[in-house]
Structure 1
C-alpha cells in the first residue's frame, strides 16, 4: 500500500487536510504542536474508471486502491536538533513512500503563523533545511563507519562510500536530492537509508476559498509556482477547509457529483493529491472485473503480466499461463465483455506482456 507523509510548519492546514482525507477528526487547533503523536489514516482512491465499470456490471463488491496518510506534528526550525517536537517526528516519516509538503498560501489574522507572516518559499526552505540536516547526520554516520575500510583499499565498500560522499556534498549545499542523477545500483543503496531528501514530494499550497477558481491570482501561489518551476518541483493547490466540508458531506452520504457542483470544482483536491502521488512513484492501476467483484490493483509502471498476477496472489504469478486483457475504455464503449470480444478488443497476452494502466485482466494460471 502506498504510504504518504504529510509535513509542514505548524498551522499551515496539515491536520485539517488530514481530517478531510480520513474524516478521522485529528485534533485541529490554532497553536503549534496541537498534533503530538502521528495520526494514520487509510483512504480509498476514487477512480472514475472503476466507477464506470461498476455502473456497467453492478457487482456485489467494489474494492478501490488505497493510500495510507501519516500526519506528523508541525516541524519548526531546529527540529533536526530537537527543537519543537524534535527529531522524533522526522523519524516518523522515514518509512513513507512520498512526502506531501503542505504550504500556507492563505492570509487569516485569526490563525497564527510561527514566523508571524505568510511566506511560502521561506516556509519551504525552513522545512527542507531540517530534512537536509537530519539526512546529513545519517550520511555522516555511515561514512565514518566505512572510512577505515575504504582507506585500506576494501573494494566492497567503494561504491557506497563514494556515493555517500557525493550525497554529503549535495546536502551541504542545502540541496534536496534529485534521484534522476543516480544509477540503478546507486538508487538501491540510497533506498536502504530512507533519506527524507530523496523521497518524491509534492508541494500542496493551502489557499483561501476566494482563489479556488483561479489559484494563480493569489500572490502566495505565484511565489510557490515560481519556486517549483525554478527547482523542477511539482505543486498543486487545495483549500483544506473546503476539502473537509466535502469530506463531511460524503460522510453524510451525499453524492460526490452533487458536492463538487456545490463548491464549483471539477475534482476534489484530495484525489488530485492521490493521483499525483501515484504519478510521481510510477504507479498504475489494472482492474479485475466480474459480477462478484470489481477491484482496482496497484502495480509499478512497465511491470510484466506475471508480476501483476502476483499482486493478486503469489500462486497466480507462479503458475501464470496467460492473461485475457481488455482496456477499460473498450469495455465501457462496447458495454460488455462479450461485445468487446466480438469487436476484437479482447487479447490473449503471455509472460512478456507489459501491463498498461487501465487494463482489465483475467489471469489464467495453474499450480
Structure 2
C-alpha cells in the first residue's frame, strides 16, 4: 500500500511523516521544505502475529508494510507550475491513495501560506489544482482519440463519450472519484491515471491542547468531516505533535503516554486501518516454526491469486489451500488440537480468501 501525504505548506505533513516513519524528514516553518518525496516504510500493526509466534514458537515474524510518501507542499497555481507544483503532481501519480493532511489548529507561531486557517478552503485549493491537471491530461487524450472516434471505431467512440462525461464532472470542479461508474467504465478510467480518481483519506491535524482536553471534534474538524462525507471519504483525527513525541518512545513509555492522554491507539494505527478500508484491503497469514507472516491482498481475492503474493510459481502450480481461521486456531491453542477437531479444511481455486485466514498452499511446478 502506497499512501502519498499531501497538503498545503505548513499544515503538518512532514511532522506527521516523521512521527509515523521515524525517518527524520526535515520539518521547518517555511514553504517548500520538502522537495523530493521522502519515503518511509512502516509495518502494519497486527496483534495476531504475536499470538501465532507463541503458538508456533517461530524464529521470526514479518508484518505487512505500508509506504508513506511525504510529497512537497502544494500552493495555488501548482497545475501551472507555481511553487513546486509540477514535481508534486508527478509524485502523486505513483501512489495508490492520497493522505490529505488538513490543518485544524490555530497557532500564531506557525505561518499559513494563505494567511489564515480555513480547512475547507485549503482542501479545495489542492482539489482544484488536481482537477486542472486532470483536465489537461484528459484534453490531450481526447484530442488524440477524436479522429478514431469520428471514423466510426466503436471502442474509440465509447471512450470519447465517457471522457466527455468525465470532462463535465471536472469542469464543475468535482473529482472523478465522486462519479458512479460501472466495471467497464472504471477499468478505462484507471488507465487514464487521473489524480482525482485516487481515493482520499483526510488527516485532520489538531493541536496538542485539543487532544488532551478531548476536543477531537473542534469546529475545523467538523467542517472537514462534513466535506468528506459528501464525497464518501474517510477522516482520521490526529495530532502530529503528539504522534511525533510517541514515535521517540519505547513500547512501555508509549503505552503510558497513550494512557495519560486517553488515546486508545496511535495515529499511525488509525491511518493504516483507515487506509486498508479505503483501498479494500485485508491480510491473510502464514505460520510455521521458521516464521509467521501477514500478506496484504484485496478483499475478494481468490486463493491462487493470494498464493501468487508469496511466489508466482505457487500461483501457477496451485492445487489446494489448507485453511483455518485465526480465531479457531487460537481457540484450540495448537495446530495439532485444531486438526484433531477437524477445523482445517481444503479449499480449491474458487475459494475467496477471508481476513485472518491462516493458509498453507499446496502446489506443483
Q: Normalising to structure 1: TM-score of the pair?
A: 0.95
Q: Return 5+ residue gaps in structure 1 as ranges.
A: none
Aligned to 1:83: 82
Q: Give, in whole Å, the separation in 1 of the partners of 2:270 and 2:55.
A: 25
Aligned to 1:261: 259
Aligned to 1:185: 184
Counterparts of 1:171-210 in structure 2 under 5 Å? 171-178=170-177, 181-210=180-209
Structure 1 stretch 147-156 or stretch 346-355: which is displaced more?
Answer: 147-156
Aligned to 2:342: 344
2:289 to 291, 294, 297: 291
Structure 1 stretch 91-100 or stretch 186-195: which is displaced more?
Answer: 186-195
Q: Give, in whole Å, the separation in 2 of the partners of 1:272 and 1:53.
A: 23
Residue 294 of structure 2: SS of its match in structure 1?
A: strand
Task: Report if the CA contact (8 A) 1:95-1:194 is conserved.
Answer: no
Q: Residue 58 of structure 1: CA displacement?
A: 3.5
Aligned to 1:248: 248
Instruction: Note the alpha carbon deviations across 1:302-346, whole angstroms, 9 max, x for none.
Output: 111111111111121122121111111222222111122223321
Structure 1 stretch 303-312 or stretch 185-194: which is displaced more?
Answer: 185-194
User: How many residues get paired?
Assistant: 364
Query: CA RMSD for the aligned pairs?
Result: 1.6
Q: Normalising to structure 2: TM-score of the pair?
A: 0.95
Task: Report if the CA contact (8 A) 2:178-2:231 is conserved.
Answer: no
Q: Return 5+ residue gaps in structure 2 as ranges.
A: none
Task: Report if the CA contact (8 A) 2:234-2:278 is conserved.
Answer: no
Residue 249 of structure 1: SS of its match in structure 2?
A: coil
Aligned to 2:356: 358
State yes or no: 1:115 paired with 2:114.
yes
Q: Give, in whole Å, the separation in 1 of the partners of 2:54 and 2:120.
A: 44
Residue 266 of structure 1: SS of its match in structure 2?
A: coil
Aligned to 2:331: 333
Q: Give, in whole Å, the separation in 2 of the partners of 1:99 and 1:215.
A: 26
Counterparts of 1:7-46 in structure 2 under 5 Å? 7-46=6-45
Aligned to 1:282: 280
Q: Give, in whole Å, the separation in 2 of the partners of 1:224 and 1:83.
A: 26
Q: Residue 37 of structure 1: CA displacement?
A: 1.4
Residue 92 of structure 2: SS of its match in structure 1?
A: coil
Q: Give, in whole Å, the separation in 1 of the partners of 2:129 and 2:88.
A: 11
